[in-house]
Copies of this chain bind each other. A is one copy, B any other.
Amino acid sequence: MDDLTTITVLRKRVSDFRDERNWLKDNTPKNLAISISVEAAELLERFQWKTDEQIREAVKDEVKNSQVSDELADVLILCLSFSDVMGIDISEAIESKLRKAAEKYPVVKTSLTAEL
């Protein structure tokens, strides 16, 4: 679905869900930022105490994979709500951040690519 789904459509899906439940008044930027952190830690918890080898095995397990997808979705749903409440255009924010990161970490041409 990611090929066809724009950020705006996803954000609308999330804000409709919230509005049908009258959750808007609790959706302050501070409360949402708290919940983004809480959900990010729940995602991290899935990998806690595990070696890379154990994780490679675990990702073959469909149930565990779907738990990881759910945790990632929680983080993203809250990020979409946060961008909604703050009026942030996510594509622009990412583009702007990558441009700053590109200045900090310029692409290094190796001798091979430099020759070409």
List chain A positions with a Cβ less than 8 A from chain B: 1-8, 10-11, 13-14, 17, 20-21, 26, 28-31, 33-50, 52, 55, 59, 65-66, 68-70, 72-77, 79-80, 82-83, 86, 88-98, 100-102, 105, 107-108
Contact = CB atoms under 8 A, between A and B. Distances in A.
Contacts of A38: 41, 44-45, 48
If over half of A's interface residues share one DSSP class (helix, strand or loop), that class is named, otherwise mixed; here it is helix
B10 A28 contact: no
Copies in the complex: 4
29 contacts: A1-B92, A2-B7, A2-B89, A2-B90, A5-B91, A7-B7, A10-B90, A13-B94, A14-B94, A17-B98, A28-B55, A33-B43, A33-B44, A33-B46, A34-B34, A34-B47, A34-B48, A35-B48, A37-B40, A37-B41, A38-B44, A40-B75, A59-B86, A70-B93, A72-B79, A72-B86, A73-B94, A76-B90, A77-B97
